[in-house]
C-alpha cells in the first residue's frame, strides 16, 4: 500500500513538474540575465556600460519575480528526488557539512610545527 501511495504521489509530482516546465525555463533564463548583468557590471569601466548592465540585471530580476510559479516546480523536483530515495529504501541526508576554518588552520599549523621539530 505504501508503494502505491508513493507511486501516485510521484505521478502527481511529475505532472506538476511538467506543468511548470515553462516557468522553470523562464526562471533559468532570468537568472542568466541576472548573472550576466552582475558579471559584466564588475568588469565594465565606463559609467554608461555600468548603467546598461544594471538595467539588464534589473530586467532579469523582474523576469525572475514574474516566474514565481517555478518555485513550485523546484519543490516538486526536490520531492521527486526524496520519493525516489524512499522507493529505493535509501536514506536522504540533507545535513550540511560545517567545517570551522579555524579548526582546519589549527590542524595545518600543528602539522607545520611537527615538521619544524625534526
- What is the distance, to the nearest Å, from the Cα of residue 96 to the centroid of all Cα atoms in its chain? 14
Q: Which of 52, 60, 8 has its CA nearest to residue 34?
A: 60
pLDDT one-digit tens code per residue, 56-98: 999 999 999 999 899 999 999 999 998 888 888 877 666 666 6
Q: What is the pLDDT of residue 110?
A: 82
Q: What is the DSSP string of 81-107?
A: HHHHHHHTT-----------HHHHHHH
Q: 45 and 61 share a domain?
A: yes
Q: Is residue 112 predicted with pLDDT exceeding 80?
A: yes
The answer to whether position 107 is within a domain reads no
Q: What is the pLDDT of residue 100?
A: 67
Convert the pLDDT of each residue in 21-48 to its tens digit.
999 999 999 999 999 999 999 999 999 9
In this structure, is residue 116 part of a structural domain? no
Residues 17/77, Cβ–Cβ less than 8 Å: yes
Whether pLDDT at 103 is above 80: no
Cβ–Cβ under 8 Å, residues 55 and 44:
no
5 burial level (CB within 10 Å; 0-12, 13-18, 19+):
exposed
Which residue did the predictor score with more confidence, 104 or 26? Answer: 26
Phi and psi torsions of 27, nearest 5°: -65, -40
Q: Same structural domain for residues 60 and 33?
A: yes
Q: For residue 104, what pLDDT is reported?
A: 74
Kindly state whether residues 5 and 16 are assigned to the same domain.
Answer: yes
Q: How many domains does the chain have?
A: 2
Domain boundaries, position 2: 1-20+69-92
Specify if 118 maps to a domain.
Answer: no
- Predicted confidence band of residue 102 (pLDDT cuts 50, 70, 90): low
pTM of the full structure? 0.65
Amino acid at each position: 500500500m505504501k508503494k502505491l501511495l508513493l507511486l501516485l504521489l510521484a505521478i502527481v509530482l511529475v505532472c506538476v513538474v511538467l506543468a511548470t516546465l515553462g516557468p522553470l525555463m523562464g526562471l533559468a533564463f532570468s537568472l542568466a540575465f541576472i548573472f550576466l548583468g552582475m558579471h559584466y557590471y564588475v568588469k565594465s569601466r565606463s559609467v554608461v556600460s555600468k548603467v546598461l548592465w544594471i538595467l539588464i540585471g534589473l530586467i532579469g530580476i523582474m523576469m525572475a519575480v514574474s516566474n514565481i510559479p517555478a518555485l513550485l516546480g523546484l519543490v516538486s523536483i526536490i520531492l521527486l528526488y526524496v520519493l525516489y530515495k524512499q522507493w529505493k529504501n535509501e536514506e536522504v541526508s540533507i545535513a550540511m557539512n560545517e567545517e570551522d576554518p579555524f579548526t582546519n588552520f589549527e590542524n595545518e599549523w600543528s602539522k607545520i610545527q611537527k615538521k619544524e621539530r625534526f
